[in-house]
Amino acid sequence: MDVRLLGTAGPLGWPAEGCGCASCGRLRAADAGRAPTALLVDGAFRLGEGRVPAGYQVRPLPGTPSAHDVTGPDGARMLCAAPGPLPGSALDWVARAGAAYDLAFLDLVAAPEQLGELRRLGAVGPATTVVAVHVDHRAPSPHELDRRLSFWGAGLVPDGTVVSSADPPVPRPSAPYRVLVLGGARSGKSEEAERRLAGEPTVTYVAAGGAGAGRPDDPEWRARIAAHRARRPSGWRTVETTDLAAVVRETGDPLLVDGLGTWLAAVLDECGAWDTDAPAQATPSQAEAQVRRRVEELVAAWRATRRYVVAVTDEVGSGVVPETRSGRRFRDELGGLNQRLAAESEEATLVVAGRVLPLPPPWP
């Protein structure tokens, strides 16, 4: 089955006529506009329009009649979703349909997590070619969208491209693969980490401060935790632990660790190592030795892991010098940990005001 993408944008196109947003402005400046999504199947018919030729089976999905399941004369299967996420009734239908699709055209700007769900259901398999459609100014730019799609094993193609069921799928990161995401408070670092794993069928989310982390009696804190949980796809599993090294050493599905600052604070607390009143010692105390051991265990586990791991951490190098000894201790410990994990990572990125700055690797 060969599918020509006559257009790949959302219903209003990209840029949208009369829209003054920065995303649309970037496309106008680059003269890189996209027409609304339209698919020409095998040069024989436009999907969703007119008569379907003999030999093809086209079925609208429940709850979203503008999304279609298509089977060609050669037995190739294609899924084309409507704008927005697939509703639960459509996902249930797709799960019952059987084998994985050869081609999947999805709105991954609106709902990247639907790709992970389709993989979990078996509708998208290792050989499925996934292409983003209905793209528009919900994404900052085609370049940024293409960066995100690379995490999910999906592609962004120009209008007019022919995509074939014989095309190889877009690769996605394979384990072992380690990513360190750094950023300040409210920088968007957690969202970036979650976004990276949105296309995975299952993910283990590690709340690294343990079950009692944070301020459970604070309504604002509880609201922040609830917001984090609401962003996670339903197929994600949550583990609350401070034994982070043990989790990283295990084999299994991808890990999202959020975050190393909370973990370090919990470790300092568990080891009784804050020591705010005592003067600095020339030799490590018993508590400090315990902290060193925990840090070394984590670094060794990170280096040896066979998993795909994304860890969120606080960038502490740009702030003011803390007034307290405990604050300076935390800053120094976390800064050192960040350096060591970054050195053992395939990728390290810094998030500033929601914008992602890939850090260059320590090699040519």
Active-site entry in 68, 134, 137, 228: 228
- Round to whole Å and give the CA distance between 285 and 273: 9
DSSP 310: E
Order across the sheet with 177-183: list the strands.
236-240, 203-207, 255-258, 308-314, 177-183, 347-352, 355-358
228 given a catalytic annotation: yes
163 with 154: CB under 8 angstroms?
no
**Angle, helix 260-270 to helix 286-304, in steps of 10 degrees:** 150
Which residues, including other chains, have CB under 8 Å from residue 32's CB and lie 6 or more apart? 142
- Round to whole Å and give the CA distance between 148 and 89: 27
206 with 236: CB under 8 angstroms?
no
Cβ burial of 19 (10 Å; 0-12, 13-18, 19+) is middle
Would you state the structure tokens that stand for residue 30, as one six-digit string?
A: 């680059």
Residue with token string 């009692």: 212
Active site residues: 228
